Amino acid sequence: MSRSQENVGLQLKLARVRQGLHLYEIARQAGISSARLSQYEGGHRLMPPDVEDRLRTLLGLRRLGSTDEED
């Protein structure tokens, strides 16, 4: 597992916890199991890009390297 993949999982976990959301709530909304989300957050399993996008959307996070600009 790459270091950047571990960082993505940790970033998502921190955002979830800061928002007071339980792992099972976000997992259900993202259409994955709680066990799988835990593996992604811990950097133990590679997260597919579509799952990362769903989680980022649910948590209100931009994708790494995003250059969206707002006026």
The CA-based angle 23-59-51, given to 5 degrees, is 75
Domain boundaries in the chain?
Answer: 3-59
Mean pLDDT, rounded, for 55-63:
91
Residue from 23, 45, 44, 46 nearest 34 by CA: 23
pLDDT band at 18 (very low <50, low <70, confident <90, very high): very high
Q: What pTM, to 2 d.p., does this model score?
A: 0.81
Annotation: CATH topology of 3-59: 434 Repressor (Amino-terminal Domain) (1.10.260)
